Amino acid sequence: MTIDLVVMGLGHVGLPLARAAVQAGLTTAGYDVSGAVVTGLSEGRSHVGGVADADVAAMLDAGFHATADPAVLDGAQTVVICVPTGLTPEGLPDLSAVVDAAQAVAARLRAGMLVVLESTSHPGTTEDVVRPLLEQGSGLRAGEDFHLAYSPQRIDPGNPTWGVANTPKVVSGCTPLCAKYATAFYGRFVDRLVVARGTREAEMAKLLENTYRYVNIALVDEVALFCHRTGIDVWDVLHCAATKPFGFAPFTPGPGVGGHCIPVDPRYLATRAESQGFSFRMLAAAHEVLSRMPEHVVYRALALLGEVRGRPEGARALLLGVTYKADVADVRETPARPVAAGLLAAGVDVSYHDPYITEFTVDGRPLPRATKLRDALDRADVAILLQQHACYAREALGRARCALLDTRGKAVGSGVTLL
C-alpha cells in the first residue's frame, strides 16, 4: 500500500508538519523511535505545544497513524526527516539521529521516492552525510533513481499567526530535478515556496536566521548590563529605539536564551566554520555575553536577598516561569536551570511556579512547585520573573509582598527591580 508521506520524528517540527499534510488531504503516517510518543499519539494525546489533543484526534480520524515500525517507510512516496539535532556533552554538533534516520530510509529506499531533510544542521549535511548513507545503503543514485532535498523547518511553537501553511518555505534539491519534486510536494500544503540555489544555501539560510537572533539578543543583553551599571532605564531605551520605522529590529534582554534553535544552531555554524579554518568572532562574543546572563540574574537576586534578609542562606526564592518561551510548555535549554543552580549553590531555598510545567529538575534535583501564585508570592523573600507567561499580570506582580526581580520588563510597582 502506498502512502503520500511518512514523517520521521514526531516532535516540535514533525508533528505540526504531519498535521498540515493531513489537513491538506495527504495520506500521512508518522515514525518515531519513542514508544511513549507513538502510544500517546495513537491514543489522541499531543506532547507538542501548539498541537492540541483535538488536532491529533482529527488527524487520526483522517487516517493518520504513528508507529515505531520502520516498515511504514516501504510504501512512502515522500519521507521527511524531522529528527532532533542537538549537541554532544562536549558541546559539539550531534548528528546521530540524522544518521540513524538516513540509514533506516536507505534500507527501504526505492526508485522514485522523495527524501527531504528538515532537521537543522551545518551546510553540507544533506550532500556529505545523508546522501552517501542513502546511496550506499540502497545502491540507488540521488537525482537519478530517487530525489533528495533539504527544506529547513520554520516552526515557531505557540505562534498563533504563522504556521506551516502560511510561513514561506525554503526548498532546495541535490539536483534541479530533486528541487522540482520537493517544490511539487510542499506546494500541496504551503502557500509560498522559495527555491534556493542548492542544499548548502538552504542549510546556511536556516543557520543565518537563528544566528541573527542569537547575536542581536546578545547585543541587547550587553546593553542591559551597561545600562544597569550606569543607571539608565534599558526598557525605556528599547521603547524609544523601537519607534524607528526603519533600520532597527527590536529585541529584548532576558535571563538567557533557551529552546532548541537559538542556543544550539550557532554552534553548528561555528563548528563547521572552524573545521574549514574560519573563525566567527561575533559568535564567540555573543556566546560569552549570553552565557553571563543567568549568572547576572543570580547576582541581582542575591543582592536583593541581602537587602531584605541580610544573607541568602535559608532565604526563599520563587522562579516565575521556567520554560524557555512564554506560554509554551518546553524547558529545552531553559535559562531557568542555571539560575536555579546558582541560587541553590548559595544556600537559597528555590521553588517555582509555572502553569505549563508540572515537574522541573535541576542537576537531577526536583524543585518544589507552587500551584497558587498569590500564596507563593506571600511566602517568598524574592520572586524572579523569568518568563512572561500571560498569567503573570503586571499589576499583580507589582503588588507582591516580596521583592521582585523582573528580567522581562513587564512588572510595575515600588517593589520591582528591573534586570
Would you name the residues annotated as active-site residues?
261
Q: Which residues contact 278 (CB under 8 A, 6 or more apart)?
A: none
Q: Which of 170, 169, 105, 171 is nearest to 142 (CA)?
A: 105
Residues with Cβ within 8 Å of 332's Cβ and at least 6 positions away in sequence, in order, are: 258, 259, 260, 324
Q: How far apart are the first and last CA of the chain?
A: 58
The torsion defined by the Cα of 286, 287, 293 and 296, in degrees rounded to 10, comes to -100
H-helix or E-strand spanning residue 336: helix 336-345
- Cα dihedral 399, 403, 406, 411, rounded to 10, equals 10
- How many angstroms separate the Cα of 302 from the Cα of each of 119, 145, 307? 40, 63, 9
Q: How many helices (H) and strands (E) does the chain have?
A: 14, 17
Contact 327, 360 (CB under 8 A): no
Those residues with Cβ within 8 angstroms of residue 350's Cβ, 6 or more apart along the chain or in another chain: 317, 318, 319, 340, 343, 344, 362, 367
Q: Is 248 helix (H, G, I), strand (E, B) or coil?
A: coil
Match 549553590 to its residue by C-alpha cell: 345
Q: CA 79 to CA 74: how far, in whole Å?
A: 10
Distance CA(117)–CA(22), nearest Å, equals 19
Q: Among candidates 172, 163, 154, 153, which has minimal Cα distance to 114?
A: 172
Dist CA 267 CA 116 (whole Å):
23
